[in-house]
């Protein structure tokens, strides 16, 4: 289904994506995707779709999401604890959040990948 049709169904639009080649997990803790919701006083929904391919078993390589809830409370969740074995992986469910108007939500690597190799593909959809 084309992106425009998906947006019409759920009101969400793709707001950030990794390149087709993906994001190579690294021996660091970089941001992978970020999006700042419009500062319009409304609630904003965000949903993530993520797949990663581990080609050599990981040591480290955790990643997760940080955001600000509508009441100003900071939130975070790990989507992968790292240490994944070889193969294709996805989180148990696509992650969704309601974020504060004008705030930024970030998918970031939360622990360095000190051994192994993995590439992650992600889309962030928001409204």
Domain 3-126 in this protein, CATH class: mainly beta
Q: Copy the structure tokens of residue 61.
A: 């390589």
Q: Are 102 and 36 in contact (CB under 8 A)?
A: yes
pLDDT in tens, 22-80: 999 999 999 999 999 999 999 999 999 999 999 999 999 999 999 999 999 999 999 99
pLDDT in tens, 91-122: 877 789 999 999 999 999 999 999 999 999 99
| Residue 8 pLDDT exceeds 60 | no
Domain ranges, ordered by start, for the chain:
3-126
Among 48, 51, 99, CA closest to 71: 99
Global pTM value: 0.87
């Amino acid at each position: 289904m084309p992106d425009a049709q998906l947006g019409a169904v759920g009101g969400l639009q793709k707001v950030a994506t990794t390149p087709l080649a993906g994001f190579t997990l690294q021996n660091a803790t970089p941001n992978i995707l970020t999006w700042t919701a419009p500062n319009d006083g409304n609630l904003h929904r965000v949903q993530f779709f993520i797949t990663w391919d581990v080609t050599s078993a990981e040591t480290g390589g955790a990643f997760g999401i940080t955001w600000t809830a509508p009441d100003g409370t900071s939130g975070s969740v790990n989507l992968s604890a790292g240490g994944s074995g070889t193969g294709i992986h996805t989180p148990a469910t696509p992650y969704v959040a309601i974020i504060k108007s004008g705030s930024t939500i970030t998918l970031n690597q939360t622990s360095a990948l000190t051994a192994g190799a993995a590439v992650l593909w992600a889309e962030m959809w928001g409204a």
